Structure 1
Amino acid sequence: MDKSAGPFRCIVIAALLAAALSGCAGRPEGVLVPAAAGAAETKGISKVDVLVATTRRPSETPGVLFSGERDKTPSVTEISVSIPPDSVRKIGEVQWPKKIVADPTKEFATLSVTPLSPQRASEWLRGNLPKSRRVMVFVHGFNNRYDDAVYRFAQIVHDSGTDVAPVLFTWPSRGSIFAYNYDKESTNYSRDALEDMLSRLSKDSQVSEVTIMAHSMGSWLTVEALRQMAIRDGRVAPKITNVILASPDLDVDVFTNQFSALGPKHPKFTLFVSRDDRALNLSRRISGNIDRLGQVDPTVEPYRTEFEKAGITVLDLTALKGNDPLNHGKFASSPDVVKLIGNRLIAGQEVTDSDVGLGERLGAVALGTAQTVGSAASVAVSTPISIFDPRTRRNYAEQVDRFGRAIGNTAESAIVP
């Protein structure tokens, strides 16, 4: 066997194992078809309205709305999502519809989809700002379809109870484990659009504060857009006060340079890391074996000193055991963590290991001179990434079932450092 095939074989084996464990096979496509009128009138059902900006190309498939391909002109859409009663769902999870026409009493459902012009998008924003006049922008990670991003962010907004106007920025991800490089280039493709959106939000006189939360590869896009803004305008817009990077898929050396380019008047940064993040371990292996920011140990040098100098707060959740086999989305898989940390951040309270007992309960470590995250933040993040796109899942379902038992320790060694 060609030895050069070894690393690729390890990645494929790991992907197959993760797909077998994820339990995501069978999810229908096209769930963004609006449900019948009155579908969300049942007692206990909640509604979340999200403003969605995207650089994806529109799809001709009903209920898909936007594909994983790139479009020259950004689009904006208002999407209303219903969430089933808390009595029938677990906090931190998306109850995906089993059929195209969802059952709102048990599953997430789409209530309305409304394309918006730039002027109407501004009107939506002003009509949906809470008393705090804060906006939260969410940027998803690698391997996310449009509907993945919409439903996940709706869950984040609902479960955290965050007092913000929710704005989602979704970039052209093909939703496939085999499209890593395409997805990475799509983040580069989308930098200008994200920077422009953030600038518009910051210049709106009705907006008081903007918090950005990015997951995985979306962290690269977010920091790059802020870096461009700082270079173009001399600093990051003052209204952008908080940046939260969850499981950031970022080369630590590159992040150092990006952060430096933001200048002294930069937003507060908070990182959520986990040293046993297997998805980031795979990313490290295919990216020159350089540590990814989301899997560093913040208690060792040089990281500890550098984080403290920069005033970056780091929460290390390595000791937290979640239901995610890749350990890439621990926050969402632990309802207690979502509510505990989310409530404190929303209230504008400082988050450290001592005052909330994280050191004992979760094994988290808080570092940084500021020791705070900010008032508009939420810490729920995307749950385990869906390893295979639907077409690949159909092609490989039987192979995974047969092969899963055989790979055993071999696959485990491929994804554990």
Structure 2
Amino acid sequence: MLRRSGTLFLLLVLTGCGHPDGVMMPVKLTANTPPTSKVEMLVATTREPSGDPATLFNGERSAKPHLTQITVSLPPKRESGTVQWPQQLPPDPAKDFAVTNVQQIDTIAQGRQWFGQHVNGGHALVFVHGFNNTYEDSVFRLAQIVQDSKMQATPVLFTWPSRAEITAYQYDKESTNYSRTGLEQALRTLAADPNVKDITIMAHSMGTWLAMESLRQMGIRDGHVNSKIHNVILASPDIDIQVFAKQYVEMGEPRPKFTIFVSQDDKALAVSSFITGRVSRLGAINPAEEPYRSKLEKAGITAIDLTKVKTEDGLNHGKFAESPEIVQLIGQRLMTGQTLTDSKVSLSEGITAVVGGTVTNIGTVAGAAVAAPATIIEQPLIRKKKPQQPDDTLGGDLKPQTLTQ
């Protein structure tokens, strides 16, 4: 009990570092402002409007979704993987992240018009944030990911009602359930846009639960996920392993290509496991060990182990965004559905990650994981006939109950 209490205390301490609230009020760039980068995004939310232009939306639940167009300015001198929050308001665009434009969008037609004006090769990235995030947290994080990854895609943020309080875990979890249909509708609307060729969903932490539930709903309604949704990236997924297996099966076939980022030293997932009855979380597995190794391969799921990757994140929960090499990997390869087996992936400190392309190579990957800062296990996406009893298998071969340790 002392150890568990210590873990909870550590989590409270590590998440206690804050920043000024109210950064959504647009600032004007002047002639004296040094050249900055900008990220323009479309933001869909199930949050309740705050009535304050400095925050826009709070952590309560809205009866209807809202759309907003937002432009974020990023300072010229910034380390990759970092969000430079202002220490005082208003932000200084020369050294801080700063919002430079906010415009509410009232109709789907206006949203499509915006997307048509900002289309980037027809690729769309839908980002779903995790637990303990304000509206502005998620906006700035997506801006950082888009800029650092250099991805060629139009960014769309889906932000759900998080109270951004470390003690509001259960409220946040229920808010993801509340937002399932909202995200499903947003994905359907995006897929129906003729300007959109393909969609990548990238979800983090508790947001992975929301993403999986929305895709499951879509699959149950239509028999399969919309064909424009090509890729799903789950970073530090805070999902019960058995539940993930059921969600994966019940979304039907064909499925998008799945990539998961895991880390066995993720302190936030350790606390989540404790809160939820000591049930293993998907984001904390070791994909090089059985039963996960063979089961992931049979399901065609790529697992990227970030345990040995070091970042400034004290919880080891945001490595996917804070590691420059990993975020570039997302933008340059995973976003476009490219495999990792046709080249080696260069990671931090000049060490090259090990890439395994077949089942026989997985043993090599597991053995080399000690020396590499990250282990990348790449398997081809396997399309199989729909099983007669979908509740009992994952991808035709993986039984949900066998995913647990």
One-letter amino acid matched to 1:258: Q
User: Using the alignment, how far apart are the partners of 1:59 and 1:241 within structure 2?
Assistant: 35
* Contact map agreement 2:231 2:337 (CA 8 A) in 1: no
Which of residues 348, 353, 356 is equivalent to 1:358?
353
Q: Which has the higher contact order (CA 8 A, sep 6+)?
A: 1
* Contact map agreement 2:230 2:337 (CA 8 A) in 1: no
Which residue is equivalent to 2:50? 59
TM-score of the pair, normalised by structure 1: 0.82
Confirm or deny that 1:74 pairs with 2:70: no
The Cα shift of 1:344 comes to 3.3
One-letter amino acid matched to 1:168: L
Confirm or deny that 1:124 pairs with 2:121: no
Moved more, 38-47 or 285-294: 38-47
**SS of equivalent to 1:284:** helix
Confirm or deny that 1:134 pairs with 2:134: no
Which residue is equivalent to 1:323? 312
One-letter amino acid matched to 1:268: K
Which of residues 20, 23, 33 is equivalent to 1:28?
20
* Contact map agreement 1:96 1:108 (CA 8 A) in 2: yes
Which residue is equivalent to 1:14? 10
The Cα shift of 1:335 comes to 2.0
Deviation readout 1:230-274 (Å, 9 max, x if unpaired)? 001111000001000000000000000000102220100000000
Which residue is equivalent to 1:89? 78
* Contact map agreement 1:304 1:367 (CA 8 A) in 2: no
One-letter amino acid matched to 1:358: A
- The gaps in structure 1 that reach 5 residues or longer are 372-417
User: Using the alignment, how far apart are the partners of 1:196 and 1:32 within structure 2?
Assistant: 26
The Cα shift of 1:352 comes to 4.6
Which of residues 292, 296, 300 is equivalent to 1:311?
300
Which of residues 23, 26, 49 is equivalent to 2:40?
49
Q: 1:127 to 1:181 in 2, by over 3 A?
A: same
| 1:11-410 equivalences in 2 (<5 Å) | 11-19=7-15, 24-25=17-18, 27-36=19-28, 38-39=29-30, 42-85=33-76, 88-118=77-107, 119-130=109-120, 132-340=121-329, 342-346=331-335, 349-352=338-341, 355-356=344-345, 357-359=352-354, 361-370=372-381
Q: 1:230 to 1:349 in 2, by over 3 A?
A: closer
User: Using the alignment, how far apart are the partners of 2:63 and 2:157 within structure 1?
Assistant: 18
The Cα shift of 1:321 comes to 1.9
Which residue is equivalent to 1:378? none
One-letter amino acid matched to 1:69: E
The Cα shift of 1:112 comes to 1.0
The Cα shift of 1:115 comes to 0.4
**SS of equivalent to 1:266:** coil
Which residue is equivalent to 1:384? none
* Contact map agreement 2:47 2:160 (CA 8 A) in 1: yes
* Contact map agreement 1:55 1:71 (CA 8 A) in 2: yes
Q: Percent identity?
A: 50
Deviation readout 1:36-91 (Å, 9 max, x if unpaired)? 2x348744301111100000001123311100000101000001110011xx2101
The Cα shift of 1:166 comes to 0.7
One-letter amino acid matched to 1:227: R
User: Using the alignment, how far apart are the partners of 2:334 and 2:32 within structure 1?
Assistant: 31
* Contact map agreement 1:162 1:346 (CA 8 A) in 2: yes
The Cα shift of 1:206 comes to 1.7
Deviation readout 1:306-356 (Å, 9 max, x if unpaired)? 111110000011111222111111133322333355333356542259722
**SS of equivalent to 2:381:** coil
Bigger proportion of residues as helix: 1
Runs of 4+ in 1 over 6 A off after TM superposition: none
- The gaps in structure 2 that reach 5 residues or longer are 346-351, 355-370, 383-405
Q: 1:19 to 1:353 in 2, by over 3 A?
A: farther
**SS of equivalent to 1:177:** coil
Q: 1:8 to 1:316 in 2, by over 3 A?
A: closer
Q: 1:279 to 1:353 in 2, by over 3 A?
A: farther
User: Using the alignment, how far apart are the partners of 1:320 and 1:178 within structure 2?
Assistant: 28
**SS of equivalent to 2:89:** coil
Deviation readout 1:345-383 (Å, 9 max, x if unpaired)? 356542259722213542313143339xxxxxxxxxxxx
**SS of equivalent to 2:137:** helix
User: Using the alignment, how far apart are the partners of 1:341 and 1:66 within structure 2?
Assistant: 29
TM-score of the pair, normalised by structure 2: 0.84
